[in-house]
Chains A and B, each alone.
Chain A
Amino acid sequence: MHLAYPTVLAALLFCTGLYGVLARRNAILVLMSVELMLNAVNLNLVAFDVWLSKASRETLHSGQALTLFTIAIAAAEIGIGLAIVLAVYRNRGTSDIDKLRDTAEGHESEGPDSDALTAGSADGAGKAEATA
């Protein structure tokens, strides 16, 4: 098989996941997109491992081992990530990434109650000014 197939597919999946991370509002959707990215990486690793093992340039099967590790780490990460999302949800009442604006300029001057008010109005403004 031409190596282009798996690698191109991996690249496309990665960028799809990238889009999801940057564009989705719900934290859990962001986590899903992260999973897509990780899977794309895994595909890449496997493809290269197969290629290099069969070409006898590699005897350690490092690609597949790393893929297994990545899968395990992804599982751990999703566990922690969901715990965090649930904690945020319990604290803020929402799992919107947009509402997590503590590092914003001038955030301290707003009262905590006004977060909900300003978030709604700042959404459009905030994202509209996102610089690429």
Chain B
Amino acid sequence: MTTTTLAVLVPLLPFLGAAAGLLLGRTAPGFVRPLAVLPPLTALALAAVVAVRQGGEQAIDAHTELTPTGSVPIELALHIDGFAALVAVLVGVVATCVQIYSTGYLRDDPRYPSYAALVSLFTSAMLLVVYSGDLIVLLVGWEVMGICSYFLVGHYWETPEARAASIKAFLVTKLGDVPFLIGLFALATDAGSFRITKILGAVANGGLDHPTIVALLLLAGVAGKSAQFPLHTWLPDAMAGPTPVSALIHAATMVAAGVYFIARLLPVFESSQAAMVTLAVMAAVTMLGSGLAALAQDDIKRVLAYSTIGQLGYMTGALAVGDRGAAVFHLLTHGAFKALLFLAAGVIIHAAGTNSLAAMSRMRGLRDRVSDAYWTMTVALLALAAIPPFSGFFSKESVLGAAEHVVTGHTEHAPSAAGWITLVAGLLTAVLTAGYATRLWLLAFHGRGAEAPDHGRQPLTMTVVLWVLAVPSLALGGLAFRVLPDWFDGRDLTPTLTTSVAGTGVALVGAIVTYAAWRHTTTLSARAPLGAVAAHPEGDAAQVEAEAIASHAPVYGGVAYAPDPADPGRLLLGPLHRHAAVGFHLDAVYAALFVRPVQAGASLVRFLDREVVETYVRGAGALPRLLGAAVRRAQTGNVQTYVSALLAGTVVLAVAALLVATGA
């Protein structure tokens, strides 16, 4: 089979799996699990074959016109270069792992068939985004991912948190998608085509007419999809969805789609200095803000969510300094270790019966209950904190190295302001990253207090996957930084000495400071008992998680934080803790600016509809009802009244006929 055929099959197989799953889910429940796992697995295999065949050389291009539009045609096109090939492999690996994990996680869930089908559909949409060579087809995949995210985040729709979170995720990303769409149209009008190759050719030849406007509009969509400031508020709340969903969508794939998009079209952004600086500022604010917020979160998944936001900030920072190789390198490693972090967190939540770090820090011996999760999570956290020789070290160093490259005068791709902003923010964030990673590790696994409850072994499907993902988290970086430049643009990804030392140094500083704070505060935990566990610990992991999510706010007073004096984050952040816990009040600002006016408008409309329009409708109905009541009063049942009426009418008719006949 030609590579093009294989490449077409890669997004197609999960789509067919999703369709079959949705159709057959109820009638043939025995087929659901194979239908969930096999298509992504096959797609992974085919994507690997495609990657091998492409080998980082000539990009594979294939296109056919989908529909003439009168001006700029839309084509069904493939454009598989090194970036696309490798990202597709990452998506395949993570999707397969998530599907296998889900068979154990949602073992008893009655909605598992639709869940698995939606995950497959999502996988197919992401692969479409990765492989697509036409921007409108990419947009189709983009939007399908958005709606699948809505459905999947809202999986536990019995809980109000999930319902609110799914709508919030959908609306906030759509808020970014509208300027994105306009930007796409503007770009295509300027370049004369939706094809990526033609657009890049147009940029190289004569440049675009309005590069800044186009770039800023596109950045809005990327900010929404990749959860960058200011459209990042949906991602922490989206943790109300099942953990495998978070692992797939909110760690490895969907949020990476924005970064990938910029990487694909980087020349478009590079043609506008203002856009690059904006991107750098956005990345910096995102990195620092999310790092601080992650230190204050109590929900283990929210810590990971803010961590994702921050790591995506690294990637966008790398793009802001014009190095897409570094950005995609970090995307690949981040996909592996963040997915691993989320899946391990799912195992921990299942075993502990709670998602609250405060509660976990008051349990002793949790790490013995979930030893697989303990070791793999340790690996992943070390990768997150960018400690050598784990993969995160190499990819983060490539980002910082790219920033340093721009700072030292190589500004042909990006302005030096972007370089400075990215470098400084990146180093500061490295401190914060190490800090919250250490905090999470200590609170979750080194708690003191009562013995952690023993609910038996975790399902094999959940634990095996953790080890599978631990391999790239450990090894990918060291092997990849030599090989990847051949796949990417050729820029060297080797870590430079200054940034390596600086980065590792600040990370170690952050870890040590956090450890010291923990030693100081952990003695307080015995004096302040806190915590509650799920009511059905024998249920499958999905049920435990749903109950944990639903009970967090009632037990701890909020969905994000807990009043825990033994939290080292309180000591580290000081007066900032209160603000960091609620994401620096951005949600409240949005609520006041947008949500409340819209709700007021809605209630006004409801009032008008009920009082004004309905009144007319009811009035229109009242008149016939009155008439009917009046007419009904003639039904007296008395024969004499009936006959009287009949005869009266007859007399009238007879007289009328006479008058007419006599011509009067």
A residues at B contact (CB < 8 Å) = 18, 21-23, 97-98, 100-105, 107, 126-127, 129-132
B535 adjacent to chain A (CB < 8 Å): no
A62 to B644, CA, bound (A): 32
Rounded to whole Å, the gap between the CB of A102 and the closest CB of chain B is: 6
Residues in chain A near residue B524, CB distance under 8 A: none
Report which of A98, A105, A107, A130 forms a contact with B644, defined as CB distance below 8 A.
A130
- In the complex, the chain B residue whose C-beta lies closest to that of A21 is B643
A101 to B641, CA, bound (A): 11
Q: Do B647 and A22 have beta carbons less than 8 Å apart?
A: yes
Q: Do B648 and A132 have beta carbons less than 8 Å apart?
A: yes
Q: Do B637 and A104 have beta carbons less than 8 Å apart?
A: yes
Q: Do A129 and B637 have beta carbons less than 8 Å apart?
A: no
Given contacts A22-B644, A22-B647, contact A131 B634 (CB under 8 A): yes
Q: Do A107 and B637 have beta carbons less than 8 Å apart?
A: yes
A22 to B632, CA, bound (A): 21
User: Which residues from 634 to 650 on chain B have a C-beta closer than 8 Å to any C-beta of chain A?
Assistant: 634-641, 643-645, 647-648
Residues in chain B near residue A102, CB distance under 8 A: 637
Residues in chain B near residue A126, CB distance under 8 A: 636-638, 641
Residues in chain B near residue A130, CB distance under 8 A: 636, 638, 640-641, 644-645
Q: Do A129 and B636 have beta carbons less than 8 Å apart?
A: yes
B633 adjacent to chain A (CB < 8 Å): yes
Q: Do B640 and A105 have beta carbons less than 8 Å apart?
A: no
B residues at A contact (CB < 8 Å) = 632-641, 643-645, 647-648
A22 to B644, CA, bound (A): 6
A101 to B634, CA, bound (A): 12
Tally of A-B Cβ pairs under 8 angstroms = 52
Residues in chain A near residue B648, CB distance under 8 A: 132
Q: Do A132 and B638 have beta carbons less than 8 Å apart?
A: no
Q: Do A23 and B632 have beta carbons less than 8 Å apart?
A: no
A32 to B640, CA, bound (A): 15
Given contacts A105-B632, A132-B648, contact A21 B637 (CB under 8 A): no
- 6 nearest A-B pairs in the assembled complex, by CB-CB distance: A104-B637, A101-B637, A105-B635, A130-B641, A132-B648, A126-B636
Q: Do A132 and B644 have beta carbons less than 8 Å apart?
A: yes
Residues in chain B near residue A104, CB distance under 8 A: 635-638
Q: Do A21 and B645 have beta carbons less than 8 Å apart?
A: no
Q: Do B640 and A97 have beta carbons less than 8 Å apart?
A: yes
Rounded to whole Å, the gap between the CB of B656 and the closest CB of chain A is: 16
Q: Beyond A100-B637, A102-B637: 13 further Cβ-contacts under 8 Å?
A: A21-B640, A21-B643, A97-B640, A100-B638, A101-B636, A101-B638, A103-B635, A105-B636, A126-B637, A126-B638, A126-B641, A129-B636, A132-B644
Residues in chain B near residue A100, CB distance under 8 A: 637-639
Residues in chain A near residue B637, CB distance under 8 A: 100-105, 107, 126
Residues in chain B near residue A131, CB distance under 8 A: 634, 641, 645
Residues in chain B near residue A97, CB distance under 8 A: 638-640
Q: Do B635 and A127 have beta carbons less than 8 Å apart?
A: no
Rounded to whole Å, the gap between the CB of B347 and the closest CB of chain A is: 67
A126 to B640, CA, bound (A): 11
Most A CB contacts (10 A, CB to CB) among B633, B640, B648 go to B640
Residues in chain B near residue A127, CB distance under 8 A: 638, 641
Rounded to whole Å, the gap between the CB of A16 and the closest CB of chain B is: 14
Residues in chain B near residue A129, CB distance under 8 A: 633-634, 636
A22 to B640, CA, bound (A): 5
Most B CB contacts (10 A, CB to CB) among A101, A104, A127, A130 go to A130
Rounded to whole Å, the gap between the CB of B250 and the closest CB of chain A is: 63
Residues in chain B near residue A132, CB distance under 8 A: 644-645, 648
- In the complex, the chain B residue whose C-beta lies closest to that of A100 is B639
Report which of A18, A98, A101, A107 forms a contact with B647, defined as CB distance below 8 A.
A18
Residues in chain A near residue B643, CB distance under 8 A: 21-22
Rounded to whole Å, the gap between the CB of B91 and the closest CB of chain A is: 70
A103 to B636, CA, bound (A): 8
A103 to B634, CA, bound (A): 11
Residues in chain A near residue B644, CB distance under 8 A: 22, 130, 132
- In the complex, the chain A residue whose C-beta lies closest to that of B637 is A104
Q: Could you list some 26 contacts between A and B, CB below 8 A?
A: A18-B647, A22-B643, A22-B644, A22-B647, A23-B640, A97-B639, A97-B640, A98-B638, A100-B637, A100-B639, A101-B637, A102-B637, A104-B635, A104-B637, A105-B633, A105-B635, A105-B637, A126-B636, A126-B641, A127-B641, A129-B633, A129-B634, A129-B636, A130-B641, A130-B644, A130-B645
